[in-house]
Amino acid sequence: MSMEPDEQPFENAPDASPSSSPESDAQVDRILEALLLSADGPMSVDQIQRLIGEELGLLRKDIRASIHRLESQFEGRSVELCEVASGFRIQVRRDYAGWVSRLWQEKPPRFSRALLETLALVCYRQPITRGEIEDVRGVSVSSNILRTLQERGWVREVGVKEVPGRPALFGTTAQFLDDFNLKSLDQLPDLPEIKDSEQLEAALLRLGSVTPQPETRNEGEADEFSPDEPDERMPESEPPADDIDEDRRPANQVH
């Protein structure tokens, strides 16, 4: 049966394949835009193809072409199509973050200097141990900082260092890249190996340029990012047993 010219095949019939035309491309773009706006997180090309590729007869290159068209359509608007580690997403441009944040009355969490210094060291020197972080910062790393970074999904244990005590090695995650609007760690500005406080300051400046927009807090949640969070100086004497750094724990000690 022939199709009437004014019929729109995949707006009402998802199993029909679009023809190659400006009209069909525009429809694919609208479908892709709807998917990205509705998704809980970034979507990869493979995910998109699994959802609509077969029904619309789209190859990976067709989906990427649609993505590029959407990027162009969003130019000059308050939203942008951004590629991060997990895929593509539509988000508010940084220039408008301050206006959008007024939608939430809760006080946004603040990132403490101690937390950002620790995160910067993990970013630029991963994999890195807790002891190596302390050697550069000159202060003891609070267990709360490492726990917070892991709970946010920014840092994870990636293995152990084959030295006495086998301390844990920490690295960043795909969630960190997504939250900091990065496709890969290669997008972080180059920086010489961080070995002292001056180089650490340079790393903080670079990390600050991509710091994510503040998020809302749950009711009653403690502000673990307060800039007033104290650092403890490295103890001169032996610390209490519960506070012994794994990096300094004897190899034969039971964990």
User: What residues contact residue 21 under an 8 Å CB cut-off, 6+ apart?
Assistant: none
CA angle 220, 224, 229 (to 5 degrees): 130
- State mean pLDDT over 98-107: 79
Q: For residue 137, what pLDDT is reported?
A: 86
Categorize the per-residue pLDDT at 102 as very low, low, confident or very high, splitting at 50, 70 and 90: confident
Architecture of domain 20-97: Orthogonal Bundle (1.10)
pLDDT given at position 245: 41
d(CA 52, CA 255): 50
Tell whether the model's pLDDT for residue 26 goes beyond 80: yes
3-state secondary structure the chain: CCCCCCCCHHHHCCCCCCCCCHHHHHHHHHHHHHHHHHCCCCECHHHHHHHHHHHHCCCHHHHHHHHHHHHHHCCCCCEEEEEECCEEEEEECHHHHHHHHHHCCCCCCCCCHHHHHHHHHHHHHCCEEHHHHHHHHCEECCHHHHHHHHHCCCEEEEEECCCCCCCEEEEECHHHHHHCCCCCHHHCCCCCCCCCHHHHHHHHHHHHCCCCCCCCCCCCCCCCCCCCCCCEECCCCCCCHHHCCHHHCCCCCCC
Q: What percent of the chain has pLDDT over 90?
A: 42
Residue 223 has pLDDT above 90, yes or no: no
Q: Do domains 20-97 and 113-248 have the same CATH topology?
A: yes
Q: For residue range 150-200, list pLDDT tens digits in order.
A: 999 999 999 999 989 899 999 999 999 988 888 888 887 666 555 556 666
What pLDDT does residue 136 have? Answer: 87
Q: What whole-number distance in Å separates Cα of residue 92 and Cα of residue 77?
A: 9
Selected residue with higher pLDDT from 21 and 19: 21
Cα angle at 247 between 166 and 133, to 5 degrees? 120
Percentage of the chain exceeding pLDDT 70: 63
For position 82, what pLDDT does the model report? 92
Would you state the pLDDT for residue 110? 72
CATH of domain 113-248: 1.10.10.10
pLDDT in tens, 195-221: 556 666 666 666 655 555 443 333 333
- The residues spanned by each domain of the chain are 20-97, 113-248
pLDDT value of position 195:
59
Separation CA 65–CA 119 (nearest Å): 36
- Range with the lowest mean pLDDT among 47-56, 97-106, 239-248? 239-248
